[in-house]
Structures are given as structure tokens and as C-alpha cells.
Amino acid sequence: MRRYAELGFRKFETFNLWTPKGMGRHIAPAHCRAIAQRNEMQFISMHLPPINDDRARSLEVAIEAARFAQEIGAKIVLFKATSLENYIATGRQFLDAIDGLNVTPVVQNHYGQAISTLDHFRKVLKGIDDSRLRTLLEVGHFHSAGVAWREAFDLLGPSVALVHIKDQIGRTPVPFGTGEIDFSGLFQHMANAGYDGDYVVEMEAAPRQTARTIELLGQARSYLEGLCNELNL
């Protein structure tokens, strides 16, 4: 987090379980907040553990993780499930359980997982049918599935509460500014639509290469800031 802060980033998205550095009840929320404060950072969002076929137990775990997210200051939680059926069967139960928390639940697309395509998104949103559930526009994973972000936004529209971005050629992550993603068009389109939320910058172009990843994140920040300045955003 110190390295990200040194690059000029001030916000961070975290995971509950998926990564080796995931945060959960094995770490005190106060300790997490202290790390963020020390680096002048804040947690904006957190990936929850997915609902699996043991729906009752995994739902309890996801609800507990949402409470933890609130305690570390994250305003958005990513609600996940291993299948469309698990999303639909537990979505409203999850929303009811976290209704009093100061967090916004979103669902996202992820290529190769339960929600990969627009049709998957439609089925989940229709199946849960609850306006408390918002969405995440995952530009890279839509690109991997052959779906343009404009087409995705046409479906998701005002329900979008968070955006993930990375540059790609086909399904391959590349340094920002060297791929096929039209970031200028994306930023302008979202601004025109009234989106005022965060963009999570993802860097997967140098897996398991920490120093190179940090370098590429610095370049990404400079590139994206330049685009925003050109667009007066």
C-alpha cells in the first residue's frame, strides 16, 4: 500500500479471501484502517467470498465479510456466487441481511465465471429483481467475452456504482495505452451519463513481477491522468 501511495493513488480495493493478502476476521479491522491511514489511503470496495452450493453457510460468510468491509471503511461490496442459480437463490436474502449496513452491494461480470455475458447479467438482475442491488462495469472482462463496454453500459446504465479498467489486446492484459480499450471514449461517455464513482485500475500485464507491476501502475496513472486532463474531467 505504501508503494501505491507513493505513485499517487489514494484509494484501494481489497479482497476477503481470494488472494494471499486478503483481509478477513483473522485481521482486526482497526489494524486495516491504521495501515490505510498511515499511507493516506482509504478502502473503497471489497470482494466478498462467493456463495457456493452450500448456500446457507456461504451466505453467512458473505454477510460477515460485508460487515467487515463496513468496519474498514469500504463503501462498496462485490457480491459473488459460483453459479447463476446461487446468485438468484440467495441475492435477496443477502440484500435483506445487509440492509442496515453503510455499504452498496454490486454484482460484476468476470469472463469464464458465472456472469460472463450480457445474457448472464440479465438473468441475474431479473432473477433477483431488487433495486438495492447495483452493478459493476468490468470493462476488461467484457472485452474478453467479446462485449463492448458501450453495449454493456446500455444494459446496466444508472445501476453502475463502480468501474474496473485495464488495457487488453484480445484477452491479454497489456500496459495502459498500448491495447484496444478506448479509455477516452469510456471516460467521456461515463461523465456524460452522470457517473461520479470510482475507477479501479487493474494491472495484470506483468504477473508475479512486483517491481514491473509497480512501474506499470505508475505509467498507467500518468497515462490516465493525461487523458482526463485532455477531456477536462
Select from 91, 171, 87 the least CA-distant residue to 131: 91
Query: By C-alpha distance, which of 145, 149, 147, 91 is closest to 123?
Result: 91
Going through 48-198 in order, the beta strands assigned E by DSSP cover 76-78, 104-108, 134-138, 160-165, 167-169, 172-174
CB of 175 closer than 8 Å to CB of 219: yes
**Alpha-carbon gap, residue 185 to 48, rounded angstroms:** 30
* Calpha distance 111→109 (Å, rounded): 7
pLDDT in tens, 187-197: 999 999 999 99
Phi/psi for 56 (5° steps) reads -60, -50
What is the β-pairing status of strands 172-174 and 167-169? Answer: antiparallel
CB atoms under 10 Å from CB of 33, counted, come to 15
- CA torsion, points 180, 144, 77, 66, in degrees to nearest 10? -150
Per-residue pLDDT of the chain (233 residues; tens, 9 = 90+): 899 999 999 999 998 765 555 666 678 899 999 999 999 999 999 999 999 999 999 999 999 999 999 999 999 999 999 999 999 999 999 999 999 999 999 999 999 999 999 999 999 999 999 999 999 999 999 999 999 999 999 999 999 999 999 999 999 999 999 999 999 999 999 999 999 999 999 999 999 999 999 999 999 999 999 999 999 99
Taking residue 150's Cβ as centre, other Cβ atoms within 10 Å add up to: 12
The pLDDT value given to residue 16: 77
